[in-house]
Each structure stands twice: as C-alpha cells, then as structure tokens.
Amino acid sequence: MPSNDPLKALLRNARLIWKVKARQLQSDLAEDQAEVQTINEQLTHFFGHLSNPKLWSEPVTYQTSDIAQHILDISAVRSDDVEGYLTATRQFLQIMQDQVLPTALQRVATTPTLPWNLRTIDALNQTTRSIEDRLDTYASQGTDLRQDPAFLALANRQAGLLANYRELLTNNAIESTQSKVNTINRWKATIAPLSDPPHFQRVYAKYNDFLAKQVQQTAATPILLGVAVSNNQQALDALAVAEVKLNREVADYQSRGVDLAEDTVYQALNAACPALLTNFRKALFNNDFEAPTTLIEALQRQGEELVQAPTQSAFLDQYRAFNDLLKTNTPAVA
C-alpha cells in the first residue's frame, strides 16, 4: 500500500509556514480583523486533524507540485498583505478539503473524541487555570514571573506541550484513562497552594516533563516540543520552504518522465535527508542553539538554488549541499 508519509511531511511544513506567516500578520495588523481570524480558526481546525490515525488509514492520491505551490504562495505573502494572505490560505484550504483529503476528513468528522480524552482535556484546562491564579497572586505580591526570562522559557515550552497534548487527545491519537485524569488532578492540587515562587517554578518544570512524556507516547505524528526562539522560528520557516521546494522539484522531474528514484546518487541523498531534517528541526524547536542570521540566509539561498538548478546533475549537487548544510549546523546534542 502506498505510504502517506510524504504527504504528512508536506503538510507539517505547510502548518509551520502558515503559523509563521499568521504570527507576522498579527504583529503588523490589528488582531480584530474578522476575516483573518476566521481563516486562521479554519486552518487550526484542519491542521488539528493531522495527528488522527483515521485520517491516514487509507492511501491518499495527490499532486505534490500542486500542494507545494499553494504552500509556497502562503510563504511568499508580505506581512502587510491581508488580501494576499486570505487568498493564499483560502486556496490552500479549498484544495485540501475538496481535492486532496475530502474522504479522509469525512472519516475524521464522524469520529467523536473519546470520553476519557474529553475529561483529560478538562483536567488540563483546570490545572492551567490554577497556574494562572498562582501567577496572578505572585504578581500582586510583587513577583511577576511572567516578566522573568527563565520562567518565560518554561512557559513557552508548556504552551507547545499543551497544544500538542490537547490535539492528540481531541483527535483520539492517544487514548486516555481515569488514572491519567487523576494524575493531572494531583498536579493541580500540588500547584494550587504553592506560596513560594521558586518552589512553584520547580514544580512547574516537573509538570512540563510530565506533559512531554504524554505527547511522546505516540509516533503517529512527530511532536515538536516547546516554542522556538525568534531566530529559530525564522530558520524553521526557511527550512520548511526549502523542503517544499525540494519536493516540488522532485515532482517536476517525475512529471517530465524522469524517475529520480532510479538514480543511485539521489537514492543515497534521499535516504539520508529525513533523519537530517528531523534532527535539525528538533534542535531548533528545543532551542539547543540559536540560529544565526547567516544560517537563516543560507537556508533561504539553498531553497532557491534547489529550484534554479539547470540540470539533473546540478540539482543533485544542490541536494547534497542541502544535506551538508543540515548536518554541519546540527549540534551533537540533537
């Protein structure tokens, strides 16, 4: 049976590119623009289905080049171009809903969230409210942890973990239990009475570790932990665009009757690339290092060079350069 893994990878890049573009748009424009909010809510709902195994229970037929072009159209929108953003995102969503995944999305739509998963989400929300209450109390007493860089790093990580965990629960990618709900409630009971901010931070960090274990228990969709710092977000965006361009070029060769899979050089490069991408992306998301501007620019250039290569040999040279760029810039800890 054909694998859906290439499409999953393409859509993970689409989600990342969209999030970066949406964040840029919100920073430059008023957030009360109804049309922007509506399309963002629709895309959040769509991308939320990607971790649901039912979405991928059957092979999906699609044109890589068509999807890749729509993703690149989103990436190319200027941060002050509301109409361009709305057009690009609506076109992407339409092609996904109407042409690529209509049957798969219908399978997901008919599957309700499991009862214990709903109760787990409720327990998570209650614990979050207890945390916010503690933070408000500390601030009223003169200790505003929301202004503390060390705590903000923990909070950013927790935001990413909670978003991933809720997504997995909502889409039944994992199945929760009464025991899990009880455990989360115990975290809430532990956090609620804490009066000492340093002690609270230590417990908060341990709660993050607990959440990380929950989202890592499934291999259905690779989980990216935490929220990357600003430069790393830009690097992730540039990486996603370069990967989409790489996939589009391969699809273009196939459309011209050139089967790169028969080329031994391409086989070796293509076999090495997924692990290099995973390690590099993980290091950026987990802030194992902060990407310098030169690396961001190098990723952007590499994406352009992949699509501008005039011959198959030149394309393979650029593919090798792309792999080397990932390898040489991934810290050993990743």
pLDDT tens per residue, range 126-143: 999 999 999 999 999 999
Q: What percent of the chain has pLDDT over 90?
A: 37
93-111 tens-digit pLDDT: 999 988 888 888 887 777 7
Quote the pTM value: 0.62
Question: For residues 328 and 161, which has the higher predicted lDDT (pLDDT)?
Answer: 328
Give 66-102 pLDDT, tens digit per residue. Answer: 888 899 899 888 878 888 999 999 999 999 988 888 8
Residues 6+ apart with CB under 8 A from 174: 117, 168, 214, 217, 218
CA 306/CA 319 separation, integer angstroms: 7
